[in-house]
Amino acid sequence: MSNCAGPSELKRVLGLWDLVFYGIVLIQPIAAVGLFGIAQQLSRGHMVTTVLIAMCAMMLTAVSYGRMAAVYPSAGSAYTFVSRGLNVHLGFLAGWAMVLDYLILPIVSTVYAALTLTRIVPHVPFAVWVLLLISFTTWLNLRGMRSTAKSNIILLVAMCIVIAAFFILSIRYLALHGGAVALFSMEPIYNRATFHLRDVLTATSFAALTYIGFDGVTTLSEDVKNPRRNVLIATVLVCALTGLFSSVQIYLAARVWPTYNNFPNAETAFLDVCGRAGGVWLFQAMAITLFVACVGTTLTGQVGAARLLYGMGRDGVLPRRTFGRLSAKTNTPAFNIVLIGVITLVGAFTLS
């Protein structure tokens, strides 16, 4: 009953940098880490170039999303843009496509995080870790958007500490093994001996996965102060910062491990780079950081999907009394958050 009498609109409590932090945590500041080995092989050692090319393309998309959010500053992202700009039926299809996208992110991230914890603490079953992780992220999101924003900042700081350590130890390693010649080189960007345009463009389509999820920023348009300005700026900043940050990570990794075709395991190549640059300590720290990043993606993916369902429910595309309600206490679409949590739980067990 309290939900029915509750507010009909989300509160605008997020500032520009809250939105930027949300987007970076959703994408993950180490998004390129998991792609490193395979992208290096596909591009023949030019992953930095592919990330920068993909960034240019994504920046155009980010500007488009930001401009649309300025016209329609409501929850729902592409669903709202397509529904109000083109056709409600096309919007319905776009909305469900986005819901599926936002469901995949937390499911995969939960599975990876739980598997990581199982390896660290093997006597605790996988199912227990999954249940604890989803319960934790659901609880945080149910507390309200300010709680989610604060959690994003904590997670981002934790990840950045380890990334900073990687930067320092990689530079130290290169300084000890070749000095300035090893540290400063154009080879990760353009190596005449191995550069092939077709391979670079093929790898660019793979490297574009670095930016997957940046559009999630626009799902919070109704939670943001001054959305007509801040959503556009935040969307562009998230893409630019992700691209530049990832490029530096990949550049250093490519210098520490200059041969692109002799990784022990391409899927976990970045961890081998960490082991070479900083030893076992950095190897383990980066593995833990991958876990923290997955928790962040689960947290932000869940809230994005819940906001999208809320926008569809408020418009009557989904049952309004179920999906279009807000909690009077926390001003959150509580039912949607719990629903996404349950689906993530079932999906994690199924996928595992």
Query: What are the backbone angles phi and psi of residue 286, rounded to the nearest 5°?
Result: -70, -35
Six token digits for residue 324: 């279009």
Tell whether 1 is covered by a domain.
no
Of the candidates 97, 67, 102, 63, which has an alpha carbon nearest to the alpha carbon of residue 85?
67
Q: Which pLDDT band holds residue 97 (cuts at 50, 70, 90)? A: confident
Residue 250 belongs to domain with CATH number: 1.20.1740.10
Q: Is the pLDDT of residue 352 over 70?
A: no
Burial (0-12, 13-18, 19+ Cβ within 10 Å), 191 = middle
Query: Residue 222: which domain range?
Result: 16-351
14 - beta bridge partners?
224
Q: Which pLDDT band holds residue 321 (cuts at 50, 70, 90)? A: confident
Give CA–CA dist 262/191, Å, rounded: 17
* CA Rg value for the chain: 21
Six token digits for residue 349: 């067990």
224 - beta bridge partners?
14
Tell whether 150 is covered by a domain.
yes
Q: Which pLDDT band holds residue 76 (cuts at 50, 70, 90)? A: low
CA dihedral 58, 267, 137, 241 (to 10 degrees): -30
Tell whether 5 is covered by a domain.
no
Give CA–CA dist 280/191, Å, rounded: 31
Return the residue matching tokens 């720290």: 285
Cα first-last separation, the chain: 38
CB neighbours of 161 closer than 8 A, spacing ≥ 6? Answer: none
CB neighbours of 191 closer than 8 A, spacing ≥ 6? Answer: 44, 45, 46
- Percent of the chain whose predicted confidence (pLDDT) is above 90: 15
pLDDT at 1: 38
**Could you tell me if 91 and 84 are in contact, meaning their C-beta atoms sit under 8 angstroms apart?**
yes
Which three-class secondary structure string do you get for 55-75?
Answer: HHHHHHHHHHHHHHHHHCCCC
pLDDT one-digit tens code per residue, 228-240: 788 888 888 988 8
pLDDT at 167: 93
Of the candidates 265, 289, 267, 292, which has an alpha carbon nearest to the alpha carbon of residue 278?
289
Per the structure, the count of domains in the chain is: 1
Q: Is the pLDDT of residue 206 over 60?
A: yes
Top-confidence range, 11-20, 38-47, 68-77: 38-47
Mean predicted confidence (pLDDT) in 18-27: 80
Tell whether 219 is covered by a domain.
yes
Tell whether 9 is covered by a domain.
no
Tell whether 316 is covered by a domain.
yes
Tell whether 3 is covered by a domain.
no
Distances 201 to 43, 50, 251 between C-alpha atoms, Å: 8, 7, 18
Mean predicted confidence (pLDDT) in 2-7: 46
Tell whether 185 is covered by a domain.
yes
Q: Is the pLDDT of residue 151 over 50?
A: yes
pLDDT at 10: 62
Q: Is the pLDDT of residue 256 over 50?
A: yes
Three-state SS for 14?
Answer: strand
